[in-house]
Amino acid sequence: MNALQTSDLPEDYWDETIRAGSWRWYELKHLLQYKDLLVALIKRDFIVTYRQTILGPMWHLLQPLATCILFFIVFKEMPWWKGVSKTQQLVFYMANSFLWQFFYTSFNGTAQVFFQHASLFRKVYFPKILLPMAIIGSNCIKLSIHVGVFLMGLLLWQWLGAEYQLGWQVLLAIPWLLLLGAIALGIGLLLAAASLRYRDVSFAIGFAVQLLLFITPVCYPANYFDKHALIHLNPLTPIFSGFAAAFTTVDSSITTNSMYAALFALAALILGTVAFLATEQKVADIA
C-alpha cells in the first residue's frame, strides 16, 4: 500500500493517529506502552559503559572513592573542620562524592543525549524522551550500588569499634536523591534542546559543571560559607547539605530553604520536558 492509497483511508481505520505538532504530547501519553523498551535501554546503558573493561562496574566505585580520598587528604586541616573528627570528615566526603558522581553523569548524559545517540534517533521511531529517562535510571542503579556498599562499610566500621553511629536518619537521604535526579533530568533536557540549536551549549556544559562544583557544598560544609550569595542561589546546596546530614553529625545547615530546591526541580522538569519535546523532531536534520 503506497502513500497515496493510505491517504485515502478513513481516519477511524487507524488505531492511533499521530498529528504534526510542536509539542508531541502523544509521546508522553503513551510512554507506558514503551516500558519494556525503557528497561532494555537502561540495561543497555549500564552494560555498554563497562564493555571490554577488566574491572567492569568497579570503575564506577573507584571514581568517587578516589575523589573522596583526594578531598580528605587536601582539605582535612581546613578551618571548617575545626572540632570535627576525622571519621565524620571521611563519611562526609564519601557521601558527597557518590552524590556528585550521580548528578554529574546524569546531567551530562542527558544534556548530550542528542549527539551521543543521533544515529539511533535517525534509524527508528520511539519516544526520544525515553533515552534521558534510561540514563537517569541506569545512574540510579549505579547509585544504589554505591549506597549499598557505603552502608555496609559504615556498619562494618561501626562493628569494628569506630566512633560512628548509623541511625534511622539515613532514610532522609531518599527525598534528596529524588530532588537531585529531577534537577539533573530537567536541566539536562533543557540544555539538550538548547545544544541542538546552538552547538556552543554542548561545549559549555563541561566547563559549567566544573564551576558548579566550587559553589556546591561537596568538599566543605555549606554553613561555613553561609553569607555567600552564590551558595544560596545554587539549588543543589540544600540537597547536598541534607544528604550529608543523613549520614554525619557535621553541622552543614544553611538558611536556604529546601522548598527552593523542590520548586526549582519542578520548574526544571516542566520547562525541560516542554523544550525537549518541542525540539526533538529536528534531531535528524541537525544532530
DSSP 23-70: S-HHHHHTGGGGHHHHHHHHHHHHHHHTTT-SSTTHHHHHHHHHHHHH
Within a domain: 253: yes
Work out the pLDDT band at 28, boundaries 50, 70, 90.
Answer: low
pLDDT, one tens digit per residue, over 95-104 is: 888 899 899 9
Please state, rounded to an integer, the average pLDDT across all residues of the chain.
Answer: 79
For residue 38, name the pLDDT band (cuts at 50, 70, 90): confident
> Three-state DSSP class for 54?
coil
Cβ pair 286, 121 in contact under 8 A: no
Q: Cell numbers at residue 42, please?
A: 537502561
Q: What's the rounded mean pLDDT across residues 25-54? A: 72
Q: Which residues, including other chains, have CB under 8 Å from residue 6's CB and lie 6 or more apart?
A: none
Query: Domain count of the chain?
Result: 1
Work out the pLDDT band at 267, boundaries 50, 70, 90: very high
**What is the pLDDT, as a whole number, of residue 233?**
86
Distance CA 201, CA 195 (A): 5
Mean pLDDT of the 86-99 span: 86
Decide: 181 and 140 in contact? Cβ < 8 Å.
yes
Q: Which of 166-175, 188-197, 249-258 has the highest mean pLDDT?
A: 188-197
Q: How far is CA 278 from CA 24, 149, 178, in A?
A: 7, 41, 25
Q: Mean pLDDT, to the nearest integer, of 30-44?
A: 79
Question: Per the domain annotation, does 9 fall within a domain?
Answer: no
**Do the domain assignments include residue 69?**
yes
Do the domain assignments include residue 41?
A: yes
For residue 252, is it within any domain?
Answer: yes
Residue 139 or 249, more confident:
139
Give residue 45's identity as a one-letter amino acid code: D
At residue 3 the predicted structure's pLDDT band, cuts being 50, 70 and 90, is: very low
pLDDT for 276 equals: 86
Distances (CA, A) of 33 to 67, 191, 278: 40, 27, 21
Which structural domain range is residue 94 located in?
A: 27-286
Q: Is the pLDDT of residue 248 over 90?
A: no
Is 16 part of a structural domain of the chain? no
Q: Confirm whether 167 is domain-assigned.
A: yes
Residue count of the chain: 287
Q: Cell 528497561 belongs to which residue?
A: 39
Other Cβ atoms less than 10 A from the Cβ of 18: the count is 11
Residue 15 lies in a domain: no
Phi, psi of 54 (to 5 degrees): -80, -45
| Packed helices 130-159 and 35-49: angle between N→C axes, nearest 10 degrees | 60
Q: What is the mean pLDDT of residues 212-232?
A: 83
